[in-house]
Amino acid sequence: MALHSLNKLRAVRRFLVGIRRSWLRYGHGVLVDPSASVSLSSRFIAGRRNDIVVGAQSLVAFKTLVYTQDHVSGEHKPVRIGRHCFIGGGSVIMPGVTVGDRSIVAAGSVVFNDVPPCSIVGGNPARLLRADVEVGPYGRLKNADENVKQMWR
């Protein structure tokens, strides 16, 4: 019964995320693809319009910080998050970073350098943990469904 009542809130969340996406685009100049999922507690600080781009079917988790102003040089460096990516909770994406398509950034990571496509990075500073991984939409690993089935037997 609890799951049924929580599913009623899905429409409210979808509506709030849509409003947030519009606010990010028109108020801050952040381009978020309509199929991307962005947490309501994530923060985007763009110096100029279209400096931050989030690709299709990517997920930016809670309390993530993405910003474009380099405080050392004072320049604005664009940040790009590719398609089918997962940015873990509490991560920080520094100015000028490009996260390649189908990549995963582990929770709590601080990303200073570009993330290659099809890879997993983590740590502070973020380093390559695994390369040539297969992920689906929203950075979900291909064998995730099998693991869930085994866990709930």
Report the mean per-residue pLDDT for the chain: 89
Give the pLDDT mean for 39-63. Answer: 93
Give the pLDDT mean for 96-116. Answer: 96
Predicted structure pTM score: 0.86
Between the alpha carbon of residue 80 and those of residues 22, 55, 115, 148, the distances in Å are 18, 8, 10, 31
Yes or no: is domain 2-151 CATH 2.160.10.10? yes
In terms of Cβ atoms closer than 10 Å to its own Cβ (0-12, 13-18, 19+), residue 151 is: exposed
Which positions are annotated as active-site residues?
Answer: 71
The helices-and-strands tally (H runs, E runs) of the chain is 3, 14
Q: Where are the domains of the chain?
A: 2-151
Q: How far apart are CA 105 and CA 91, in angstroms?
A: 8
Least confident of 7-21, 36-50, 54-68, 106-120: 7-21
